[in-house]
Amino acid sequence: MKVTVIIPNYNGEKYIKNCLMALLNQSCKAFRVIVVDNGSSDNSCQIIEGMKNKFTDRGFGTEALTLIRKNNNTGFCGGVNTGIRLCITPYVILLNNDTEVFEDFIEKSVEGIERSKRIFSVSPMMIQMHDKELIDNAGDGYTAVGWAFAFGMDEPVENHTKEKEIFSACGGAAIYRTEILKKLGMFDENHFAYLEDLDIGYRARIYGYKNMYNPKAVVYHAGSGTSGSRHNVFKIKKSARNNIYVLYKNMPLLQLIINMPFIAAGCIAKWLFFKKAGAMFGEAYIKGLTEGITSLRKCKKVKYSNRNLKNYVKIEALLIKNTFVYAGKLLKNKGKI
């Protein structure tokens, strides 16, 4: 058995059965599933318990599906970390509860990550659940202005059929090397949710690992199935705060100083965008930035080493490249973030 699939769940009654049913139909049977429930108040736990017999009947074994119930909501990070600590397989797949994987998803994910020992994570082709001709995510990018973005979002599926290196994998559906994941400290629980996948991918890059996009592994994704719409107050505030964490933890002081004018310009531009979208969105963004700056003491900064200097230079070059890539996307979409 090579793979453990970890699904964080919070009030996922609408999605969780279909998510698990898709795993039942996998061409690869050598995996186990751990669902970590973050204190749900709906019927999702009962649905998960009811699915255990289906896994047994399909020949997966009596312990193929495990449900761990937590008393309170520890967010995406706390949920998946609970599962990762129990993981003894070489690879771990993180899967949102609002996803439905293709039948060869696990097989193709393993093939993708085993192409090189320097690959830390592999992001699949994520297709929008409600418009199956459009990409939801083809890997995550990050820019010198401190903006994260999803490659391919709202673009035709046929435009993203080639494997490529990405900045980081999207934690909504991705495979990781368990040993490296644990060495990197797993997902930062200070994040709670949002940009934690970017943060772990950034850390892996500092130590010379790669993150890849594999279009042969495919999954449908409802998107914001738990938290709501693409832009909401909760998400805006948490993302703004967590972006401060990502920058502070992963950039050495000199790199932060070099990029600070661009990061400041990026913050102003985003604030103006959210303010135009609604006063409460602009306020949420400022509150998130403020909370991030005032709580930096909670962050564990990656210790700088000259041994990783080459990797820092590569990261900076990629940040600059992605800035132009995303600027082109913004122009095409008339400023839509």
Residue range 40-51, pLDDT digits in tens: 999 999 999 999
- In this predicted model, what pLDDT tens digit does every residue of 107-126 receive, in sequence order? 999 999 999 999 999 999 99
Stretch 311-323: mean pLDDT: 97
**CA separation, residue 220 to residues 102, 136, 154, 335 (Å):** 8, 8, 13, 26
Query: How high is the pLDDT of residue 93?
Result: 98
Global pTM exceeds 0.85: yes
Percentage of the residues of the chain whose pLDDT score is greater than 90: 90
Q: Count other C-beta atoms under 10 Å from residue 232's C-beta.
A: 14
Cα(143)–Cα(147) distance, rounded to whole angstroms?
A: 5
Distance CA 337, CA 333 (A): 8
202 pLDDT above the threshold of 80:
yes
Side-chain-side CA neighbours of residue 292 (13 Å): 24
**Per-residue pLDDT for 225 more than 60?**
no
Is 76:12 a contact under the CB 8 Å cutoff?
A: no
Q: pLDDT confidence of 312, banded at 50, 70, 90?
A: very high
- Left, alpha or beta for 87 (phi > 0: left; psi -120 to 50: alpha)? beta
- Tell me the per-residue pLDDT of 26-41, one tens digit each, with 9 for 90 and over: 998 899 999 999 999 9
Residue 252 CB contacts under 8 Å (≥ 6 apart), including other chains: 304, 312
Task: Please list the helix, strand and coil fractions of the chain in percent, rounded to the nearest 5, in that order.
Answer: 45, 20, 35
Among 18-27, 74-83, 223-232, 327-336, the range scoring the smallest mean pLDDT is 223-232
The model's pLDDT over 145-197, given as tens digits with 9 standing for 90+, comes to 999 999 999 999 999 999 999 999 999 999 999 999 999 999 999 999 999 99
- What pLDDT was estimated at residue 229? 58
Backbone conformation region of residue 20, classed left if phi is above 0, alpha if psi is from -120 to 50, else beta: alpha
Mean residue pLDDT across the chain: 95
